């Protein structure tokens, strides 16, 4: 997931390189013996390009602020939802850090690790700072003893 403008620019640059490599492979004829290998390379490049394009598209859609609801089926998903909420709100990691009273690098670390080191209280602080409402549902597994 792209979480900031630097990653967005870098991902777009990588995507452009993948698209160029795809175009070069498609344009190059080569010998028929290498056709299967070329087809495998093209499939791999197209798959990678599609993944990068999806990440870029998601980030750009979030940046428009039109997405305002993010589903989180687990605590790890909550971390992703909070990052998406920050982006959708139009805030940088620095702006969130300022609201929380922490260094920008702390927010960068939180987001890079999926908020693994953040306490539940800190996650709550982040949600409040973003103006995000979080609904909690606890469901027990039926096979638990």
**For 87-109, what is each residue's pLDDT tens digit?**
999 999 999 999 999 999 999 99
How far is Cα of residue 132 from the mean position of the Cα atoms in its chain?
18
Query: Average pLDDT, stretch 23-29?
Result: 84
How far is Cα of residue 84 from the mean position of the Cα atoms in its chain?
8
Query: Model confidence over 56-67: pLDDT tens digits?
Result: 999 999 999 888
Q: How far apart are CA 53 and CA 26, in angstroms?
A: 19
Phi/psi for 90 (5° steps) reads: 85, 15
How far is Cα of residue 136 from the mean position of the Cα atoms in its chain?
23
Read off the tokens for 137. Answer: 């549902």
Q: How far apart are CA 56 and CA 46, in angstroms?
A: 15
């Amino acid at each position: 997931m792209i979480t900031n403008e630097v990653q967005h620019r870098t991902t777009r640059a990588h995507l452009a390189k993948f698209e160029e490599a795809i175009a070069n492979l498609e344009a190059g004829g080569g010998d028929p013996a290498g056709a299967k290998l070329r087809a495998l390379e093209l499939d791999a490049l197209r798959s990678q390009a599609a993944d990068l394009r999806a990440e870029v598209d998601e980030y750009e859609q979030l940046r428009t602020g039109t997405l305002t609801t993010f589903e989180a089926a687990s605590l790890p998903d909550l971390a992703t939802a909070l990052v998406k909420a920050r982006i959708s709100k139009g805030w940088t990691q620095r702006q969130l850090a300022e609201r929380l009273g922490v260094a920008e690098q702390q927010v960068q670390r939180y987001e890079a690790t999926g908020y693994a080191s953040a306490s539940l209280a800190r996650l709550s602080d982040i949600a409040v700072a973003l103006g995000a409402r979080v609904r909690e549902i606890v469901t027990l597994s039926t096979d638990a003893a």
